[in-house]
Amino acid sequence: MSKLIHSINPFFSQRLLSIASIGIVTFSMLVAGCTEQNTETEEAMSPEAIATRIEPVGKVNIIRMPEEASEATDAPASSREEASETPDPDKEDSSPITDTDEVPPPAGGKDTQLIHGKRVVENSCAACHTGKVPGAPVIGNAEDWRPRLVQGEEVLVQHAIQGYKAMPPKGGNFNLSDEDIAAAVAYLISQVRQ
């Protein structure tokens, strides 16, 4: 066959052999690549590799409230004992408030509710109600609060609990109780009516 190819045209035969050799080399590389891909595919489809790929990027740590922890049956005995201990009231007043506002509800009285409301507002509400968010009434600005006060305190508390317009429910802090929200609203109203 090579004599036939050489007899046709020497120039053509060299080109044909070059193209054939390139084709053979390319085909060999493709076959070798497919073999490597099959090995990689088998490794990529292993249960461990799949578990690694679909692993969550973050984790949520949920802390139980002391009441919930003492009622839990699946919690270890040591954590139930720690949760059932009552905190010292003197230490509680001096400790800083965290973003979760895990503040005990007020014991009673309007002054106690306003103090508690002030703490809730400082930790959860002030970020938006200090003039940084358009449309959010500014703390102490009677002009901003006048149309809202007409609705009544109960409506304001309901809006704060359920969310209203751009404000998320409970101001975005779902650790707050309804009593915490009511105390915060009472404090905000007191700042306008001074």
How many domains is the chain built from? Answer: 2
Q: Is residue 44, in this structure, part of any structural domain at all?
A: yes
pLDDT of residue 56: 76
Q: Answer yes or no: do 100 and 49 share one domain.
A: no
CA 113, 116, 117: angle at the middle one, nearest 5? 80
**37, 119: one domain:** no
**What confidence score (pLDDT) does residue 10 get?**
62
Is residue 88 domain-resident?
no
The answer to whether residue 80 sits within a structural domain is no
Q: Is residue 72 part of a domain?
A: no
Assigned token pair, 101 = 């506002």
Residues 105 and 186 reside in one and the same domain: yes
Domain check: are 107 and 21 in the same one?
no
Instruction: Say whether both 107 and 25 belong to one domain.
Output: no
Say how far apart CA 84 and CA 119 lie, in whole Å. 25
In a domain, 17, yes or no: yes
Each of the 194 residues of the chain gets a pLDDT tens digit; together they read: 556 555 666 666 677 778 888 989 888 888 877 665 555 667 777 888 888 888 777 777 777 666 544 444 444 444 444 444 444 444 444 444 444 444 455 456 778 889 999 999 999 999 899 888 888 999 999 999 999 999 999 999 999 999 998 899 998 999 999 999 999 999 999 998 86
Tell me if 161 is assigned to some domain.
yes
Question: Could you tell me the CATH number of the domain that includes residue 176?
Answer: 1.10.760.10
Query: What domain range includes position 37?
Result: 2-53
Q: Vertex 106, ends 100 and 111: CA angle to 5°?
A: 120
Structural domain includes residue 106:
yes
Query: Do 103 and 25 fall within a single domain?
Result: no
Residue at 75 is within a domain? no
State how far the Cα of 63 lies from the Cα of 9, in Å rounded to an integer.
86
Do residues 45 and 109 share a domain? no
**Cα separations in angstroms, 107 against 25, 55, 96, 185:** 86, 46, 19, 17
